[in-house]
Chains A and B, each alone.
Chain A
Amino acid sequence: MVQIKRIQEDGTDIIIPIGEIDASSSIELDLTIAKSVGEGFTKILIDCSTLEYISSAGLGVFMSYIEEFSDKSIKMVLFGMNDKVLNTFEILGLSELLTIVKTKDEAKQKV
């Protein structure tokens, strides 16, 4: 199960998923990102420091926004991943398609 929080800092939307994202909770993540886009944010940060696990369905959510974001020039940066989660991104090659950094400060610079 996952709990998703959102905070806004200097025009940047920070989405914080807490817990595990599996097939069913990935829908929630999808809705949150869609909401953020709908509200007109062009800078979206995903704080993954409290993300313990992500399934392929959850990764699919990030993947599905890649093209849309590049078309609309929305920037999305993920940060603070633990090694295990990062490994999942890396194995799938998503780390090459997404911007993934270590810290929040780095992330803020990237967007």
Chain B
Amino acid sequence: MRTKALPRLLFLVAGITWVSLLFTDLLIVFSVRSNIEPGLPVWLPGVLFNLFLVSLYYFYKFRLDREEQFNFVDLLWRVFATGLVITVISLLLRLIDYLPGTSKLTNLLIYVEATYIISLGLISGFLMASFIVWKRLILYQKSKWLLRLWNFFEAGLLVALVYNSLELPDADWIYNILMGILIVTGLVLSANMKWVAYLNFRQKLTSLLLLLLAIFYVMYLFYTTNSQAIAAFGEGTGFVDHRTHILFQSLFIFVTIYSVFSFLVILFNLPTTSVFEQKLEEVVNFQRISQSVQTEQNEESVYNILLETSMSTVFADAGWLEIKDNDHDHRLFTSHISEKEANEIIEHFRKEHVTGVLDQSQDKTKGLSKHLASLRGSRFRSILAFPIYVKGKDIGTLALLKELADGFNREMTKIVSAFANQAGISIENFRLLEEALQSERYKEELKIAKTVQKSLLPQVLSEHEDFELAAFSESADEVGGDYYDTLRISDTQSALIVADVSGKGTTAAFHMSQMKGIFHSLAQSCLPPEEFMIRTNRALANCLGRGSFISATFFMINTQEKKVNYSRAGHCPLLYYSAFDKTARYLKDKGVALGMVRNNTYDKFIEAYSFAYQPNDVMVLYTDGITEAKNTKGDEYGYDRLLDAMLEVKDRSARDIQEHLINRLYEFTGTENINDDYTTMIVKFR
């Protein structure tokens, strides 16, 4: 609302000041004619004219200077349109002179004065409009320095305005200096023609026409005003002459100079426009290739864009892009040439042992065209070929063809070379992006697997009056397959298991869940441990993937007989502390891991053992993540350290023992980030 109201208000102010100017001047003329003192101050017309100019300036500033989006031709068009309207009005006024029966009117003093003021108003409007537009054009791509100069110029104009109002007597030298400064500044500013370069050929032609008409308007209006002023002066004294108004003159000179300069610069730039346009096209094409990486869904689109853009940039008649997927396979993207034709040319070069296709040097590519001439039946006479490198690896060739002999000049060779480089980077970026997405997906998968694995481990261990339990398990970044579980089958029978699934990642997590299922279904039926293992092995043989296996130790604790029955299937040997002997040892029994033997001979590889337990005995179940944990020197934690650590706290509770073991492990490794899964379960008998 404000933005619209303000120009209207300014226009109104301009109108009022102009009408006041008209009446003031007329009054002065009449007064002088009638030999009466005008009764008005002498400075009034000058000040009114100044006010008129200032309000015009702001009016156009608000109308033309505020738009953020603009194009140059539109701006010029506005100048032209303003000029057209003003000129038409001026011409109509002049027409009255020639109409029959108007001589009486035209001879009237009041008429002469009025037409002069009208013309003055019109030309002022046109000059001000042009001034604002020229300002925008000059300040296109402005520098700090340029902006300062422009501000200086405007300040100078303001000084001129004030000077004019003052009506200083005998101050011609000030007038001359001020005028000189303004003209020189205007000239320097007029050298800023950067906007011309951004016009295309069509726009330049339009601009030329518009500028020519603008020059014509300004000349015509000036001539009209001037002749009317002379006519008015011829009529007698009393006229207020505004022609010497310094701001008015400076504006006129500046607008004329810049119009003529622009016209000439555009005119002389016409022949080179196509070069500039081509350069611009190249830049745009480069951008397209870079952007295609983000927007395109697949590599093929990137290849096609590369081919199209490089062809259009050097005006090639045809082209192809050969991408080597591996040593044997290659894909061909063609444009305006059949695959057969392209293959013929490639084959021809191969036969001739031309290596230039892979060479970037100018001579070699020239040599290519020579060899092309020896291929019969080919419509092409010039060829340009460049390798495309991704991470220093040659992944393919970009070849461009022309039907014209010597169709590619040095400049084009450089451009295509640059294109090939850019394409390499684009393709590399595209692949990196793909990889990043892949790894992101993989990480997400691992996260899920890790959650699954965690949830498979029991939250509560089923303890007994005869023994207490404590367990700890931690997995590395990559999901592993450590598993432990407990099941109280009856008042006197409890089952315990600790297992390690080979491999890592989601597969390990899935195998672990299978193991859990088997444990909970088989342990229910209170099987002897070796039978449990044989059945588990049979079940797993059909589930585990090739090369996967599970090491496990299964325990049945019989609290009635105070006995432990167990079977070890390739799992880490049990660490057992006997309170009676006051010694600890590893029980290294025989037994092959589950899934290693997948036929019915597994019973030969698994055995059952048993021992009687006594109060205060300790069983340490663990996975190899503990014994194989390394310190910074690369030493493994090993069996001895584990045994020693256990002995240190053998008399404490299961929870204390477990915590101590893990703390000792961390002390050894120096970190809690052990690069493997590690699990321990402590059984302390009471």
Contacts and interface: CB of A to CB of B under 8 A. Distances in A.
Interface string B491-522: 00000000010111000000000000000000
Given A57-B547, A63-B596, A67-B598, A96 B590 contact: yes
A92 B548 contact: no
Given A91-B570, A92-B570, A93-B596, A60 B591 contact: no
B671 interface: no
A23 interface: yes
- Nearest 8 interchain pairs by C-beta: A93-B592, A60-B547, A56-B502, A92-B570, A64-B547, A93-B570, A92-B593, A64-B546
A15 B118 CA distance: 106
A91 B586 CA distance: 12
A53 to B, nearest CB: 9
A73 B35 CA distance: 139
Contacts of A26: 547
Interface in B387-402: none
A9 to B, nearest CB: 28
By secondary structure, the A interface counts as: helix
A20 to B, nearest CB: 11
- What is the interface of chain B mostly: helix, strand, loop, or mixed? loop
A93 B547 contact: no
Q: Output the residue of A66, A92, A97 with the most chain B CB within 10 A.
A: A92
Most buried by B among A59, A91, A93: A93
A60 B592 contact: no
Contact of A23 (B504, B546, B595): B504
A91 B573 contact: yes
A28 interface: no
Interface string A50-62: 0000001101110
B678 to A, nearest CB: 14
A64 B571 CA distance: 18
Interface of A: 23, 26, 30, 56-57, 59-61, 63-64, 66-67, 84, 91-94, 96-97
Range, interface on chain B: 20 to 34
Contact of B569 (A30, A61, A64, A93): A93
Interface string B563-576: 00000011111000
A67 B482 CA distance: 27
A26 B502 CA distance: 12
B599 A63 contact: no
A57 B570 contact: no
Contacts of B593: 92-94
Contacts of B571: 91
Which of A30, A56, A64, A94 has the most CB atoms of chain B within a 10 A radius of its CB? A56
Interface in B589-625: 590-593, 595-599, 605, 624
B605 A93 contact: yes
A67 B596 CA distance: 9
Contact of B502 (A30, A60, A93, A96): A60
Contacts of A92: 549, 551, 570, 592-593, 596
B596 A97 contact: yes
A30 B547 contact: yes
A94 B547 contact: no
A26 B503 CA distance: 10
B549 A60 contact: yes
A1 B569 CA distance: 29
Contacts of A30: 547
B592 A97 contact: yes
Given A91-B570, A91-B572, A57 B503 contact: yes
15 contacts: A23-B504, A56-B549, A56-B624, A57-B503, A59-B549, A60-B502, A63-B549, A63-B595, A66-B597, A67-B598, A92-B551, A93-B570, A93-B605, A94-B570, A97-B592
